[in-house]
A and B are shown apart, each in its own frame.
Chain A
Amino acid sequence: MDRASLQRGSGRFRLLLLFLVLMMSAFGVSLMKGTVSIRPDEMIAAATGTGSGLHEQIFWNIRLPRTITGALVGANLAVSGAILQGIMRNPLADPHIIGISSGAGLVGVLVMLAFPAYSWLITPAAFLGAMGAAILIYILAWKQGIQPVRIILAGVAVSAFLSAGISALMILYSERVHGALVWLVGGLSARSWPEVSMLVPYTAIGLILAFLASRPLNLLLLGDDLARGLGLRVELTRLMMTAVAALLAASAVSVAGLLGFVGLIVPHAARLLIGSDYRFLLPASALLGAALITGSDTAARLLFAPAELPVGILMAALGAPFFLFLLRRMT
């Protein structure tokens, strides 16, 4: 390789390193800050089992699992959005357009409101709902192969239909609606080790498959005809990568509720900073998504302490103006 492209490559590696540092800082701050503040030395003591009982309790049972959950959720949603924006070739694509949110939302709210005794079912049921909606949209959009525009239109229609169901449930069970509302907004409070162990396999499988598919994803950026001519099986790639994106987002949403904007904004920001090459875009999205959610969750905990704001509200409040900023930059 020649010098210029080497420099370019190492510049992007340096950026990835920077994002890693950013993510770890957000992670560290999230571990220390909250209703009870823990100093770095106290945290190390708690982590190694030589700290105070209270600190150990907070560190191991509350902060660490919650922060890991936040990081995994953020990485999943951001990578899912980065994949979808590429394969749909639409800058507005995010996990919502393949029905992830409405599918998970309807089933999650149904369990929460109609079968409150089975609340432990919420996570697996929401996951099935999300995947079910994604599959339904894919089938509806199929007509001798898949056109991105058809997926997006089918996604809008199915989401509207499922959202009507969510509204109906909330009106029918209006006396229990509070818990459902909090979940629909999306948050990380009281998420602990069960959520982490639910997320880890999906994150691991999803991220590995996504990274292995960097090159096919890059080829798709050249358009269907050119990609086909280069030897890519375009329909198969699009189907498989939609499945990977659905898996990542569905697992995140089933654990944290309907967190918006992460899957839309983080990939855009990452692309702006590191370029559209998926070999760099995917890790950048994962790191920035993890940093954003852990950082925002910490802020959401502190802003109105001791009251906690669901991180989903903060995400929307931050995300909307940032999105407008991106829009102005692009046009």
Chain B
Amino acid sequence: MFSGTRQLSVKRGNVTVLDRLSLTIPRGKRLAIIGPNGAGKSTLLRVLAGIDRSYEGEVIIDGQNLRDLTRRQTARRIAFLPQGAAAPPDMTVRQIVTYGRYAHRAPWAIRTGQSDRKAVDNALTLTSMTDLQDRPMGALSGGERQRAFLALALAQEPAYLLLDEPTTYLDLAHQIAVMQIIRDLNSRLGMTVIMVLHDINHALQYADETAVLANHTIAAQGPSDQIIDTSSIASVFGVRAERFTGSGGRSVYVPVGLTSKANIDNKE
């Protein structure tokens, strides 16, 4: 069954954000979306998540048109973690994670059912948040908070997990911790992961496939190590990068300067 977009266009007033974009979502894999600022990465993710419905063209999830799904049906299939998610500081981790069950029961339901509690426990375990579940959100570090939001998304028991720059504002250790959790979720649960990443090396290391978004459309898509090289980095980001070989022959790119034709003013 096909998942992806066909001829997807998004306009904001007269400004074209996405232009007849066709993307194939590799089911059961991790897909990274990279691209310069203002390329429309967040818009694409919001459209795929069913949050933004003001688009033309088709978004297909498991062979079904996204427009034919209600919000609750969508939420049972797709979990979306926006960038910089926030929660009331006095609410506990567990309570926040329980909201992941909203689409699984009646909106006015007061009590949590057995299956809901199991899903919440499971989500807390997968993100190593079990010990912190009674902490108020305001008492968590940035990395712990991001893990709590990840647990919230997992409590939805989705087939698709959509993440918008999940490591923004996190220090190195927490970035790696979050990316490892995401990798585990994919390999252990077979969850399809689509994540907007700003770090090319994260895409190389943690994504099976990478889609490059440039000029309002997908410029290239394929296995990350084939898509990302010095020439694509130069043409997409306008950055000169040097390639190093890490342990196990893995490529690492270090940006060293701007290419001559880089035009920073045009971006954003």
| Interface: A221 (CB within 8 A) | yes
Residues of B within 8 A of A221 (CB): 87-88, 91
How distant is the Cα of A241 from the Cα of B76 in the complex, in angstroms? 24
| Interface: A216 (CB within 8 A) | yes
Residues of A within 8 A of B110 (CB): 279
Q: How far is the CB of A12 from chain B (nearest CB, A)?
A: 11
Residues of B within 8 A of A276 (CB): 88, 90-91
Asked if A229 and B86 make an inter-chain contact with CB atoms under 8 angstroms apart, the answer reads no
Asked if A144 and B54 make an inter-chain contact with CB atoms under 8 angstroms apart, the answer reads yes
A236's nearest neighbour on chain B, judged by CB, is B71
| Interface: A201 (CB within 8 A) | no
Asked if A230 and B99 make an inter-chain contact with CB atoms under 8 angstroms apart, the answer reads yes
| Interface: A198 (CB within 8 A) | no
Task: Check A5/B82 contact, CB under 8 A, given A221-B87, A225-B51.
Answer: no
Task: Check A231/B82 contact, CB under 8 A, given A4-B134, A219-B102, A222-B99.
Answer: no
Asked if B102 and A215 make an inter-chain contact with CB atoms under 8 angstroms apart, the answer reads yes
**Chain B 81-108 near chain A by CB (<8 Å), digits 1 or 0:** 1100111101110111001101100011
How many interface residues does chain B have, given as a range?
A: 35 or more
Q: 8 Å CB contacts to B: which residues of A174-192?
A: none
Q: 8 Å CB contacts to B: which residues of A202-234?
A: 212-213, 215-216, 218-219, 221-223, 225-226, 228-233
Asked if B76 and A231 make an inter-chain contact with CB atoms under 8 angstroms apart, the answer reads yes
B85's nearest neighbour on chain A, judged by CB, is A226
Asked if A222 and B100 make an inter-chain contact with CB atoms under 8 angstroms apart, the answer reads no
Residues of A within 8 A of B133 (CB): 2, 5
B78's nearest neighbour on chain A, judged by CB, is A229
Pick the contact of B87: A216, A222, A231 (CB < 8 A): A222
Task: Check A213/B94 contact, CB under 8 A, given A5-B134, A222-B85, A226-B85.
Answer: no
| Interface: B174 (CB within 8 A) | no
Task: Check A231/B85 contact, CB under 8 A, given A5-B94, A5-B134, A215-B108.
Answer: no
How distant is the Cα of A131 from the Cα of B187 in the complex, in angstroms? 55
Q: How far is the CB of A182 from chain B (nearest CB, A)?
A: 40
How many contacts A-B (CB < 8 Å)? Answer: 83
Asked if B51 and A218 make an inter-chain contact with CB atoms under 8 angstroms apart, the answer reads no
Q: How far is the CB of B92 from chain A (nearest CB, A)?
A: 7
| Interface: B193 (CB within 8 A) | no
Q: How far is the CB of B206 from chain A (nearest CB, A)?
A: 22
Q: Which of A144, A229, A232 has the most CB of B within 10 A?
A: A229
Residues of B within 8 A of A116 (CB): none
B92's nearest neighbour on chain A, judged by CB, is A5
Asked if B88 and A231 make an inter-chain contact with CB atoms under 8 angstroms apart, the answer reads no
| Interface: B46 (CB within 8 A) | yes
Q: How far is the CB of A33 from chain B (nearest CB, A)?
A: 37
| Interface: B237 (CB within 8 A) | no
| Interface: A40 (CB within 8 A) | no
| Interface: B75 (CB within 8 A) | yes
| Interface: B74 (CB within 8 A) | yes
Asked if B95 and A229 make an inter-chain contact with CB atoms under 8 angstroms apart, the answer reads no
A216's nearest neighbour on chain B, judged by CB, is B107
How distant is the Cα of A218 from the Cα of B91 in the complex, in angstroms? 10
A218's nearest neighbour on chain B, judged by CB, is B99
How distant is the Cα of A232 from the Cα of B82 in the complex, in angstroms? 15
How distant is the Cα of A5 from the Cα of B110 in the complex, in angstroms? 16
| Interface: B182 (CB within 8 A) | no
Residues of A within 8 A of B95 (CB): 277
Residues of A within 8 A of B151 (CB): none
Residues of B within 8 A of A8 (CB): 92, 134
Asked if B90 and A229 make an inter-chain contact with CB atoms under 8 angstroms apart, the answer reads no
Residues of B within 8 A of A5 (CB): 92, 94, 133-134
| Interface: B256 (CB within 8 A) | no
Asked if A225 and B71 make an inter-chain contact with CB atoms under 8 angstroms apart, the answer reads no
Asked if A230 and B108 make an inter-chain contact with CB atoms under 8 angstroms apart, the answer reads no
| Interface: A275 (CB within 8 A) | yes
Asked if B109 and A215 make an inter-chain contact with CB atoms under 8 angstroms apart, the answer reads yes
Q: 8 Å CB contacts to A: which residues of B14-39?
A: none
Task: Check A231/B80 contact, CB under 8 A, given A2-B134, A221-B88, A223-B86.
Answer: no
Pick the contact of B71: A218, A222, A228 (CB < 8 A): A228
Asked if B82 and A223 make an inter-chain contact with CB atoms under 8 angstroms apart, the answer reads yes
A4's nearest neighbour on chain B, judged by CB, is B134
| Interface: B243 (CB within 8 A) | no
Task: Check A229/B49 contact, CB under 8 A, given A213-B108, A216-B107, A222-B86.
Answer: yes
Residues of B within 8 A of A229 (CB): 49-51, 75, 78-82, 153
Q: List 17 A-B contacts (CB under 8 A).
A: A5-B133, A8-B92, A144-B54, A215-B102, A215-B109, A222-B85, A222-B87, A223-B82, A223-B86, A229-B82, A230-B152, A230-B156, A231-B76, A231-B102, A232-B107, A275-B90, A276-B90
Beyond known contacts A226-B85, A229-B51, A230-B102: 7 more, CB 8 A cutoff: A215-B109, A219-B102, A221-B88, A229-B81, A230-B99, A232-B71, A276-B88
**A-binding residues in B (CB < 8 A):** 46, 49-51, 54, 71-72, 74-76, 78-82, 85-88, 90-92, 94-96, 99-100, 102-103, 107-110, 133-134, 152-153, 156
Which 5 A/B pairs are nearest by Cβ-Cβ distance? A231-B103, A231-B75, A229-B80, A4-B134, A276-B88
